[in-house]
Structure 1
């Protein structure tokens, strides 16, 4: 091998370094769902792969096992540049096989485009016969172009899974992931040559880029459509839940009205008995009768928690459920009697309250508690629901509690909050402190309605 040793080392290092932006793009869609431990393992694995490929490549070059040529680097680019990192992602980021394949295909289309542009720019000054003499310039240019376009393509790779994480899309990815993968295999098949094909395959590479853009748009728009359909279904389910809650609230009122009718019917008899006991000096028996009458009257009392009828109905239903499960409930609600978002907010409240009740079932009976607080300041509404927790609550990519798959209709509380925030421009965040888990909601502009 007549090439200068330093040039071989520098070019090989620069070539492998130019592959790392592609590795970053394949990691980016999953980074929010990874634990710190998995992230550390991935970064260490990437470093090990990079330096292992560098050392092994240099050894193969210097011992003459492989020729130091453009074809060798092309083979490295097709196989070594993608396969080890891809397999590492499959092993450590699970279970997202279809998503990994889709991202690999989309990233390869981007990489092929960047590589083609870089080769064409170098060929302008060198020509095909002298191209490999300036291969390090190609590597540097490829890396520069990739880093330049990274901010443009990053939102797609970063959001393609995160934006639609509130809905189940596994089947969608199974169906769509073969498209970019088959294009990847097709391009590799026709690129497996020692020749420089960037000029000859320029038109197919342009079609490859166009196809990649169309696949990206199809995936994004398709998922948006699925999200809208899921939102519609979600709202229908929430409305059904709300109807059931109102039905239960109505039955409670009817039961109290029936009790009140009995109290009114017995009031005259109880008054006569009380007068008779007092006249005979039986004070203890009279006090027992008074207590019994008070208990009967209290049983007919309808407990109100808010001046808004919809919010009050939602709270009444779930306060009753919480008390049946020995959960202490504290409610201090200052809320307008009527406002534009009252229906949607009552649905969110129903779901979050139900989630809090389910969470408290895992706590010891003596430590179960839920607090609901709200206040209105100017045109803004501040709302919070808190429940006791003895263990850290795992959060998803949106900062909300992860759904419990074992529960029926799991995930509705968090999704309803996301939809409400998007519709009304509301802000929310969660907090875990001093044994309490809190969901806080700020609705910036609450418009009053005339009744």
Structure 2
């Protein structure tokens, strides 16, 4: 067995060159992974590279193939499988997406393979391809790296809203197209001999055009879906505001009716107080006045801050918390006029609503919501936290993620708010509390 350091070195280069395309199986889904999952994937991925280098080196050194070029070529059909399985295990719910990406990898690999052979035969017409296997590995790697950024961006954008904007049926159908093309590409690879390289070059280039057209068509269709999704999210926010306003109006009307009842009985209250005074019942008078004060307090709506929109939103959700017997601690210091009142009211509504939903999953004795805001040194500081004992997943932007269909729009709203106003968002789960902290810089004019 011709086992030497040169073989190890060439194999190491060969395995590393295959990694960019292998990474296409996991990078488009990285935003759906937790930090712990990313760490495990990195460890396992590095171990796989080491194992593959050792295994491929051993197989190539056994000289079981007619040439080393053929050995590396045929082993290339197998080396990608471990990384594919690893990525699949961590993002199993995207199985259709993984098949979709794998098909594109096969297509581009076949095209690059034929192009590299054609280039080498053009530059070195007097040499046989088996003697150029190392040059072919390097050229294959260079072309792969050129395509890698384009493909990463394409697949990342394609699967950015996978769970929300796509259906299983859609992906089952659309995945068949590149898969069938990949099967045809693999068949062509079997007859890609030195004599037929230039005959296959034109079909491969035409296939490349077809692939790019397919990618463009997919992106166009996806863009329309994403635009519709954005419209849906905007409509959801508007509906949320309308519902909040309707509830606030309802609460205001109930308050007005209670006040009207008190007003109708004002004569009775005055007469009763005068009667108590005439009898010099000081204690009874004070007790009755306190009872009237309590009635007035229950009648009027609480004012949490001077800003009308935000106060209305908080009033509705805090009233809901009271109905659910969830204690709320609120300290809201916001000016009456605020440059982001409308958007901030939506964000606060979403955060408090999420806190209400999370609190209902807690035991009654472990429920509490805290909302605090303060304007200081040209910055609005906002804190919303609630008791929550279960584990929370975070994406690469450190925002919580959910895999429940129909949920997660609140975090998207928060992300848009952050980007629009240059805010800083920090989410954390610690010691049984889930906390969202936001810093919003005030405009210079403010």
TM-score, with length taken from structure 1: 0.85
1:240 aligns with 2:220: no
After the TM superposition, which of the residue ranges 368-377 and 287-296 deviates more from structure 2?
A: 368-377
1:56 aligns with 2:59: yes
Change (3 A) 1:439 1:18: same
Q: Return the offset for 1:350.
A: 1.6
Change (3 A) 1:173 1:39: farther
Q: Return the offset for 1:355.
A: 0.4
CA contact (8 A) 2:326 2:369 kept: yes
Change (3 A) 1:440 1:150: same
Q: Return the offset for 1:358.
A: 1.0
The CA distance in 2 between the partners of 1:146 and 1:24, in whole Å, is 12
Q: Residue in 1 aligned with 2:181?
A: 183
Q: Residue in 1 aligned with 2:303?
A: 304
| RMSD value, Cα | 3.2
Q: Residue in 1 aligned with 2:131?
A: 133
Q: Return the offset for 1:264.
A: 1.8
Q: Residue in 2 aligned with 1:37?
A: 40
The CA distance in 2 between the partners of 1:103 and 1:256, in whole Å, is 59
Unpaired runs of 5+ in structure 1? none
The CA distance in 1 between the partners of 2:92 and 2:403, in whole Å, is 19
Q: Residue in 1 aligned with 2:20?
A: 21
The CA distance in 2 between the partners of 1:412 and 1:302, in whole Å, is 29
Change (3 A) 1:10 1:402: closer
The alignment partner of 1:296 has SS state of helix
After the TM superposition, which of the residue ranges 437-446 and 385-394 deviates more from structure 2?
A: 437-446
The CA distance in 2 between the partners of 1:136 and 1:403, in whole Å, is 47
Q: 2:416 aligns with which of 419, 429, 449?
A: 419
Q: Please list the CA deviations of residues 73-99 of structure 1 after superposition, one character each: whole Å capped at 9, or x if unmatched.
A: 43333x224444434433443122111
The CA distance in 1 between the partners of 2:295 and 2:105, in whole Å, is 72
Q: Return the offset for 1:22.
A: 2.0
CA contact (8 A) 1:340 1:447 kept: no
Q: 2:102 aligns with which of 99, 104, 122?
A: 104
CA contact (8 A) 2:304 2:332 kept: yes
Q: Return the offset for 1:401.
A: 1.9
1:430 aligns with 2:427: yes
The CA distance in 2 between the partners of 1:376 and 1:221, in whole Å, is 44
The alignment partner of 2:24 has SS state of helix
The CA distance in 2 between the partners of 1:354 and 1:254, in whole Å, is 23
CA contact (8 A) 1:339 1:447 kept: no
Q: Residue in 2 aligned with 1:287?
A: 286
Change (3 A) 1:209 1:426: farther
Q: Return the offset for 1:168.
A: 4.0
CA contact (8 A) 1:370 1:386 kept: yes
CA contact (8 A) 1:120 1:198 kept: yes
Q: Return the offset for 1:296.
A: 1.5
Q: Please list the CA deviations of residues 225-252 of structure 1 after superposition, one character each: whole Å capped at 9, or x if unmatched.
A: 2122112122222322322222221111
The alignment partner of 2:121 has SS state of helix
Q: Return the offset for 1:131.
A: 2.1
The CA distance in 2 between the partners of 1:222 and 1:416, in whole Å, is 23
The CA distance in 2 between the partners of 1:117 and 1:379, in whole Å, is 59
The alignment partner of 1:201 has SS state of helix
After the TM superposition, which of the residue ranges 186-195 and 108-117 deviates more from structure 2?
A: 108-117
The CA distance in 1 between the partners of 2:394 and 2:119, in whole Å, is 47
Unpaired runs of 5+ in structure 2? none
Q: Please list the CA deviations of residues 348-407 of structure 1 after superposition, one character each: whole Å capped at 9, or x if unmatched.
A: 22222100111122334344222223344677544332223334422234422223638x
Q: Please list the CA deviations of residues 93-149 of structure 1 after superposition, one character each: whole Å capped at 9, or x if unmatched.
A: 312211101111222333334334432332233227522112122112322443455
Q: Residue in 2 aligned with 1:368?
A: 367
1:89 aligns with 2:87: yes
After the TM superposition, which of the residue ranges 88-97 and 152-161 deviates more from structure 2?
A: 152-161
The CA distance in 1 between the partners of 2:146 and 2:120, in whole Å, is 17
Q: Residue in 2 aligned with 1:441?
A: 438
CA contact (8 A) 1:31 1:39 kept: no
The CA distance in 1 between the partners of 2:146 and 2:444, in whole Å, is 46
Q: Residue in 1 aligned with 2:328?
A: 329
Q: Return the offset for 1:443.
A: 4.2
The alignment partner of 1:396 has SS state of coil
Q: Return the offset for 1:319.
A: 0.8
Q: Return the offset for 1:12.
A: 5.2
The CA distance in 2 between the partners of 1:348 and 1:52, in whole Å, is 54
CA contact (8 A) 1:380 1:446 kept: no
Q: Residue in 1 aligned with 2:401?
A: 402
